[in-house]
Structures are given as structure tokens and as C-alpha cells.
Amino acid sequence: MTAEIPGGYTLWAKKVFQSPIYKKHPLYFKAFFWLVGNAAFTDGYAFKGRVLKRGQLITTYANFADALAYCFNRAVIKPSLKEIRIMLSWLESEGMITVEPLIDGTLTNKGRPSDLTRAYIGLLITVINFDTYQDMNLYRGKDKGRPSSELGQLRKRKEKEINIYSADSEKILSYLNEKTGKRYRNGKHIEARLKDGASVEDCQRVIDAKLQDDYFLANPKYLNPETLFRPGNFDRYLNESILAKTPARVKEDLFCPRCGRQIFVENDLTPSGCVYCEPREARA
């Protein structure tokens, strides 16, 4: 059993590699990554006495600097206050976040103007479009353990093809029900043959051929999707239907309506008789 990963998760779209932030200094991407990863995932999350909405977080310049710190040559390097303000300003100008200073009027007055008695307690940051990019249903290619960044377009094409197969199988199933007077609803065998390369016309040709088959007419229970479109049957039935349409031998009880001669080749029949009696009448 795979162990659970604590701490939740954050979704990232592949399009981030084409976004302007990916071309900026690495700290810009790290800053945005940290903001998204620490934003409230649901409405109603309480932090420092404030109720946050989905995609919001409260931090301070100092906490933000600690989060962006990195080591280089054994030294811990933190971005300066100016650098942090520049990065937040750029993210805000790109429509990626909004920044709202949180002010609380808790300081003593001591004769100062009222606008100078309020204390800065942090920054309320809102990640724009958080709902969109953290909605798993908007991503494709999550199956088979592979990330959506690898399978997005492939999955989209695959689902489109499945929809086409499904629509065609329903069309064929409806055709079979119409011809047999049944109400079959499961078209998985038909859909499987379509995926194997059969066309709608091929499937309808098999149905038409078996509707004229003496054995199937005597055993109508076999005129069902499972029997007709079973892998071992379908190719054989299809080839039989193709042979039946060629100018070959026909039923032995077919006779010329004019001269009474038994006819074995369908092409020997003419609108008024057969190729054997018409020449004699012409010579007579």
C-alpha cells in the first residue's frame, strides 16, 4: 500500500512554463509557489482572528523573507524588504495576486494623529484564479499514475475518440433494434469492433447478412450484439456478407420466369428473362 503524503497538495498547470513568471528571477516563481501553497484551500479558515476565503493567506514581510531564504556557500541569504515589495508589486501588476495591508488601531495615542496610532499587523494576500487552477476537474490525464502535464492533450483526444465510438455504436445498436424489433441497450461489443477498425457500414452489413441467414432466422436469439460482434464471429460474418454481394452462385431454387431454366449466377437474369432465352427469341 502506498503511504499517504501529509500536508495536502497543490495543482499546477503546464502552461506555467509559458507564463512571464517563468522567465523572471527564480525567486519570483518561488514566491508565487509559496503563496499558492499556503493559501486557504477552503472558505472559512480562521487565521489570527480573521476568517479567510479560498485562495487567501495572511503573512508578514518578515515571514515572507524567511520563506524565500536560501543557502549559498554556507550562507543563508534572505531577500531584502525592497526586493519583496518589488516582487509582490510585479505579481500584483500581472493580475496574479492582490495585496492588502492589515492595519489595527491598537497603539496608544500620546498626542499623535489618529492615522498614526494604527499598527501594521501583516498582509492579506489573495491569489487570483485560485479556484480555477486548484479545481482537479479542469485538468486532464490524471489516470494511470501519470501527471496531467504529460497526458493533458492525449487524454483530451482520447475522450473525443471515445465519444465518437460511443455515438457510432449507439447508431448501430439502434439499427439492430429497428431490424429485429428488440430493445438491446449494451453496445460494448459494437464499440470494441469500431475501435478495432470496423466501420459503421461494416457493422450494418453484418446485421443485414445475418437477417437473411437461414440459421439465424431459425434461431433469432442469436441476432444479438454479443453474438454478432464477438471478435471470433464478426470477421467471419463480415467476409460472408462481402462474398454474398459478389456475382456468384445464388440459391438453387431460382429459375428464369420466362423459359423456366434454373439459374445459378445472378448476373444471368435480365429484366424480362435470362441470357439463355432472350437470344433464342431474337434468332427466331
Instruction: Using pLDDT thresholds of 50, 70 and 90, give the confidence band for residue 55.
Output: very high
Same domain, 127 and 102: yes
Amino acid identity of 35?
L
Which domain-ending residue is among 99, 115, 138?
A: 138
Same domain, 186 and 238: yes
Same domain, 19 and 130: yes
Q: Which of 198, 197, 220, 195 is nearest to 210 (CA)?
A: 220
Same domain, 162 and 230: yes
Between 77 and 164, whose confidence is greater?
Answer: 77
Residue 244, pLDDT above cutoff 50: yes
Range of the domain at 60: 14-138
Q: What is the pLDDT at residue 160?
A: 57
Same domain, 157 and 169: yes
Same domain, 73 and 180: no
Dump pLDDT digits (tens) for 30-43: 999 999 999 988 88
Residue 3, pLDDT above cutoff 60: yes
Same domain, 93 and 193: no
Residue 281, pLDDT above cutoff 70: no
In a domain? residue 280 = yes
Same domain, 61 and 156: no
Q: Which of 20, 96, 94 is nearest to 55 (CA)?
A: 96
Which domain-ending residue is among 110, 138, 166?
A: 138
Q: What is the pLDDT at residue 256?
A: 80
Residue 250, pLDDT above cutoff 50: no
Same domain, 241 and 253: no
Same domain, 110 and 79: yes
Q: What is the pLDDT at residue 158?
A: 56
163-177 average pLDDT score: 88
219-231 average pLDDT score: 92
Same domain, 229 and 126: no
Residue 179, pLDDT above cutoff 50: yes
188-213 average pLDDT score: 91
Q: What is the pLDDT at residue 36?
A: 92
Q: What domain count does the chain have? A: 3
Which domain-ending residue is among 71, 106, 138?
A: 138
Dump pLDDT digits (tens) for 111-127: 555 554 456 678 999 99
pTM of the model: 0.46
The least confident of 114-118, 183-187, 256-260 is: 114-118
- What is the C-alpha separation between 172 and 207, in angstroms, rounded? 9
Nearest-10 Cα torsion for 272, 274, 276, 282: 20
Instruction: Using pLDDT thresholds of 50, 70 and 90, give the confidence band for residue 92.
Output: very high
